[in-house]
Structure 1
Amino acid sequence: MSRRFRDDPDLVYLVRDYDAVYRRGSAGGSRVIRGHLRTVREAVSDVFEANPEVADRPPQALPVCAHLPRALHAGTRGPMADMSHSLLRVADRLHWEYGYERVPRGLTEKYGYCEVVGPRGPVLADDLVLGLVLFAPSTTYPQHHHADIEESYVAISGAWSENDAAVYAPGSLILNVAAHDHRITTGFSEPTLLAYAWVGPAERLRDPAMRFSPRRR
């Protein structure tokens, strides 16, 4: 017998926490970011309206998951406390993966991501992906981009930088428009846990063709 989204309170509360971030968070005066927040909110509302099936993907851990308890504990003491507490309820159900056919040497121990809402579930959706990215301390996530996918990150715990432009703390949001090259680095002493949202064409979200960008000479 299939389960529906609204029959799973732990997932419902977690997705509501995502919705709260994109509903109550500031756009910082940016019309572009404001539009992205609205798009994500509307897609989340569609998920609640559709009440999709919950896909029972088997839990899967990666080496970086050894840092997840620390990241969630730190998150419960910051502005993303509600989401961190909700994640603690589902942490043993998450399916962590790399997303790349070839992962750079050294990154296999320091990186992983999982979907919460999206084509790969557990909450099935075609036009939205909500997920998590976990980095170990002192990680460099190489330059990459996502064709046709608009992406935002919200920091749950840890300090991180994108393209060496600024340091982002828990609660901060950054938007990457489609095809924007970006590189992520993380702090030396603590893991970094990011929530992310992807919006774009359904066929691209099903097969994002994740690739690292060629190094610039």
Structure 2
Amino acid sequence: MGHRLADLFVLMRDHFAKGLAVPGPVAEETTRVLAHLPDRLRASPHEPVLSPSSHPVALAVARTAEGLPSAWAEALGALAPLLPWRFTYAPRPDAPGLGERMAWAEIIGPAAPVLNDHVGFGLTFIGAETHYLAHRHPAVELYNVVAGTARWNLEGADVARPPGSFVLHPSQAVHAMRTSDEAMLAIYSWSGDIVSPTVYA
């Protein structure tokens, strides 16, 4: 498991580092997050142990990985079913089944396989035809889209974000995402208050 997680992390970090070329707040936040991430995951006697995920998105992520460049397909395809996918919102009658169509897997963070008290760093997956309802959180969040196009609503502005896009959510900014006929996979980071939970707006 160790080398596969290390390979996936390097791919994620390198992809995310492209935010350094986006002028302004995105580059600033990218710099802030990268300062707290290792260049690579090194072998350790306390190497994290990953267990098979029971979340429905795990297999969907593996299928999405098949359409990515070969390095991503190999690293993520093998690891997707073992990543700690979760969805922590309470059920809502206006969003039936949402928790089965989307989830996130934090790889580095205060409660992640690789411990870090300064930043959270992981993947978010949103299945096709899914509305991730308006929400907010104290953490500053930066998304980097890897696959799929989703519509982002940030403080009332609605914009389509294709692969390669960066989307910055300031602390407590209300935002929502909606996919259409394709699923979306994105890298995300949290900085600032990374312990307080996300809540619906």
TM-score of the pair, normalised by structure 1 = 0.79
Tell me, yes or no, if the aligned pair for 1:145 and 1:211 is still in contact at 8 Å: yes
Q: CA deviation at 1:154?
A: 1.1
Change (3 A) 1:212 1:125: same
> Which consecutive residues of structure 2, in runs of 5 or more, have no partner in the other structure?
none
Return 19-28 or 33-42, whichever deviates more: 19-28
Q: What does residue 22 of structure 2 align with?
A: 28
Q: Does 1:98 align with 2:87?
A: yes
RMSD: 2.6
> Which consecutive residues of structure 1, in runs of 5 or more, have no partner in the other structure?
1-6
Change (3 A) 1:182 1:199: same
Q: Percent identity?
A: 24
Q: CA deviation at 1:57?
A: 4.8
Tell me, yes or no, if the aligned pair for 2:4 and 2:75 is still in contact at 8 Å: yes
SS of equivalent residue, structure 2 residue 52: coil
Which of the residues 181, 185, 188 maps onto 1:193? 185
Tell me, yes or no, if the aligned pair for 2:16 and 2:187 is still in contact at 8 Å: no
Instruction: Give 1 or 2: higher helix fraction.
Output: 1
Cα separation, 2, equivalents of 1:168 and 1:152: 13
Cα separation, 2, equivalents of 1:46 and 1:109: 33
Q: Does 1:209 align with 2:163?
A: no
Cα separation, 2, equivalents of 1:36 and 1:59: 32
Instruction: Give 1 or 2: higher strand fraction.
Output: 2
Change (3 A) 1:127 1:52: farther
Q: CA deviation at 1:8?
A: 2.2
The one-letter code matched in structure 1 to 2:132 is: Y
The one-letter code matched in structure 2 to 1:92 is: P
Change (3 A) 1:82 1:68: same
Tell me, yes or no, if the aligned pair for 1:22 and 1:38 is still in contact at 8 Å: no
Aligned length: 196
Cα separation, 1, equivalents of 2:83 and 2:185: 14
Within-5 A mapping of 1:41-120: 41-45=34-38, 53-76=46-69, 82-102=71-91, 104-120=95-111
